[in-house]
Structure 1
Amino acid sequence: MSQAQAESVIRNIICELVQRCASHGNEVSETLAAFMIKAVVLDPRNGFDVDRTLTPHDVQKLTEICLQRLTERCSPFLDTVKMQVYFDLNYTTRSKYISNDLCSLYISISSTELFNEVCLLTLMLMKIENCAVQRSL
């Protein structure tokens, strides 16, 4: 099976899971469905071999296991997968965080420098005006 075919099969499984979960009254994102598929396939207790092409029976078994896990109530496993999805979607790499922090710092410093220049110019203008007033007296 080619890479494109494998991706197509997985995409179909994801769409089917989202639809079947919705029919059970559970809203499931495609990302959560994809994470669940990955977790189920990588769990050796489920008997999937990642080096072997999925048969139609494997696809059916995978879909049923994922559907069962995604529709469970009070499931620590499902809660853990949801947290992994949240973390994955919201995680900022260290370099990106530092880059954003440095950018904010630069903007802050630039704003401070601008403020200082405005204050300095204002003081200079006040001195000039003050000198002019003193001369007129």
Structure 2
Amino acid sequence: MLNVRRQWLAMLRGLCQVCGKTGRDPRTGRIWWVITETAFRAMSQDSGLTNAPPTCPACIPESLAYCPQLRENSAVYTAARAEPAGVLADTFTPGPGGTAIHTGHNIYVGFDEFARHASCLALQMVVRLDGMRPEPTP
């Protein structure tokens, strides 16, 4: 199961999802990410949304070796910036007698979609990566 608190802290602070240390390269200031088709949605040629936290260069080889999903389909990138953009959430609609009816799971809800916030239970943070650049596997 996903640890929501750990995922949010890693996303907000740019921490490696494996070791918990910084995912930012001290030489360039860029943040390292392992991107998969299932956890990334492109917004432009060099930006997109992801719910996967950064992975520091030291942990990328281990991640690729031990995670079957990453071995099948992933690419390594660095990003100049990562900013919170929204959440993946369970969504609900009002039901009879004040109950809530579950209407969706892992639905993207942007922070700017104010009208939808009251009907959502946030599960995972989503960040927008800008200034993305493909990198060789460390």
TM-score band (shorter)? Answer: under 0.3
**RCO (CA 8 Å, sep 6+): is it higher in 1 or 2?**
2
- The structure with the largest alpha-carbon Rg is 1
Between Structure 1 and Structure 2, which shows a larger proportion of strand residues?
Answer: 2
Between Structure 1 and Structure 2, which shows a larger proportion of helix residues?
Answer: 1
TM-score (norm 2): 0.23
